[in-house]
Amino acid sequence: MALSHTIVVAIDVPYDKAYAYLADPRSYADWAAVLPETYRQLPNGDWVAEVRFGGERQIRFSEPNSEGVLDHAVFRLGEPLLWMPMRARAQDGETELSFTFIQRPEMSAEEFNSTIEWITTDLQMLKTVLEHRYPR
């Protein structure tokens, strides 16, 4: 059975602003572990970039919606898609963001733990970016 790990981050930004920012794939390069100068949209709607942890990855995002669903898949060309659940919800005037990482079948426990560290760093960067973008 695949391992999974959920990270929850409280962001001191109103939900509507946080969700609008996160639902726009162009914002991904501001906070995720991609090299911004390589981040671009492909003709099929996916995005592609060099990632800081090595190699090129494609990114596919869920469609904007009214439920706070921000799922996305980060994959190498030819790999099966493995969607990662990410949810935003309003919480006492702030935004609570949860992200669940699911271990890929070929991923070792060491790779899984390293990926969790990257994701945690990304989500802390996201919190910083949003709170500076929308100060209270």
Please count the residues of the chain: 136
Q: At what angle do helices 15-22 and 109-133 cross, to 10 degrees?
A: 120
pTM above 0.95, yes or no: no
**CATH for 53:** 3.30.530.20
51 CB-contact burial (10 Å; exposed 0-12 / middle 13-18 / buried 19+): middle
Q: What is the pLDDT of residues 89-122, one digit of tens each?
A: 999 999 999 999 999 988 999 999 999 999 999 9
- List pLDDT tens digits, range 77-91: 888 888 999 999 999
Q: How many domains does the chain have?
A: 1
- Could you list the residue range(s) of the whole structural domain that residue 100 is in? 4-133
Give the pLDDT band (50/70/90) at residue 7: very high
Identity of the amino acid at 4: S
